[in-house]
Structure 1
């Protein structure tokens, strides 16, 4: 029986061709095409078009730690010893005023200056302040001075400072307004202006000379201006004496607000 030539159908030819190409290495599988993505939701394209650039991640800046107590400017701060962590700030409104405000600040371990006593009302010298003090000018010297010695006519109220109780802490007579001065030196803290540190406030040695004044103290207020000192109420004096600590190297910063704020 004659053999009949039968042509394979299209499907058979296609299958055979694929098998042949696979055997000789012509079939290439692509890995470079991106995977299909889902169509954007309605309105997403408009929202993306209208959106601005992405904001950078927010970073919370740590609050700045002041390097000095309130009201003390950079130039004055430079005069405060590095080891000092207790500052008594006494400020007047102008260089010619004899009433002031006094506040005690302490620096905590984090470097923050915190108010620990006051503010208290205070008096200073009759004619105000000066940065060039001379005996009898009736002005309080401005600047930064150490506070290291105390004393008074009355017994020690509990201060950590060396305290000299002595009957010589007397203040007879009257003040500039006719007010009695009695009791003004019941408590005093010596301001280290033209004096020998580490001695009783009664010590009359004047390293800069007698003409430059001396005996500048913080003492009990007598309801009027002083000759050169700073004065506080009796209760404020007791609080100040109990608070001052030689381990904290206390200083007084005093003068007109505008001057010490520089």
Structure 2
């Protein structure tokens, strides 16, 4: 049973320990060493996303087309925009936008990883692609104590992970901090909840989590200090969402 340590009281969820290690990054098998893909690890700084002048705050989220913007709820005042370098690329950029009376204000730009094979409009189990779309951010957790999150936060040893990633990098610490992305999951529960409303074949356990310096199974990963900053910034009263996909898909 997982007990929340911060935020709203949750419904208790019983999860098998073996399944917990599979919950993150696509809900598939345990991550092991795979064939290396050159160029998958960012070297810091910008990852190629277009720069946007914030001298005058835009009224709409930059880089998003009408189809994507239509999925962002009118009540949303925080949007984590994940812009992938390309449809088949595991490298992306993350920016947290805050909606103010004068428009959308951009925060810092952070380098990130997404899934090994890039992005998809129809994510399925073990396709090694991250799902494109707009999803609510309602729940968080991790192996480490709550760093000051406003989202409900579940600290649990079930967030322990070992093994190696696709480039031979150690995965230990990847789940020190996580934020559940509400793709094929039940909102208002621990990120470890195994409920899959769309069915198990559509994957799940898509999270924001700590970067292990390599591609993921389906999640989006940020450096540890950036995950802590994001956890402290997200406010459930501002109805935060994540807008994620490759740049071309987001412009639709």
Q: Give me the TM-score of the superposition, normalised by structure 1.
A: 0.74
Equivalent residue number for residue 101 of structure 1: 93
Alignment deviations for residues 44-97 of structure 1 (CA, whole Å, 9 cap, x no partner): xxxxxxxxxxxxxxxxxxx99734221112221110001001000001121000
Which residue of 215, 240, 255 maps to 2:205? 215
Which residue of 133, 149, 158 maps to 1:159? 149
Which residue of 86, 92, 104 maps to 1:113? 104
Measure, in 1, the Cα distance between the counterparts of 2:79 and 2:86: 21
Structure 1 segments unaligned to the other structure (5+ residues)? 1-62
Bigger relative contact order, structure 1 or 2, given CA contacts below 8 A and separation 6+? 2
The 5 A counterparts of 1:83-98 are: 83-98=75-90
Equivalent residue number for residue 39 of structure 1: none
Equivalent residue number for residue 3 of structure 1: none
Q: How many Å apart are 1:192 and its aligned residue?
A: 0.1
Measure, in 1, the Cα distance between the counterparts of 2:248 and 2:170: 32
Q: How many Å apart are 1:170 and its aligned residue?
A: 1.4
Equivalent residue number for residue 169 of structure 1: 159
Q: How many residues align?
A: 198
The 5 A counterparts of 1:117-156 are: 118-156=108-146
Higher Rg of the two aligned structures: 1
Measure, in 1, the Cα distance between the counterparts of 2:60 and 2:68: 9
1:168 is paired with a residue whose SS is helix
Q: How many Å apart are 1:230 and its aligned residue?
A: 0.2
Measure, in 2, the Cα distance between the counterparts of 1:96 and 1:216: 18
Measure, in 1, the Cα distance between the counterparts of 2:144 and 2:56: 44
Q: Give me the TM-score of the superposition, normalised by structure 2.
A: 0.77
Structure 1 64/155 Cα, relative in aligned 2: closer, same or farther at 3 Å?
Answer: closer
Query: Contact between 2:57 and 2:105, CA under 8 Å: does it hold in 1?
Result: no
The 5 A counterparts of 1:186-201 are: 186-201=176-191
1:237 is paired with a residue whose SS is helix
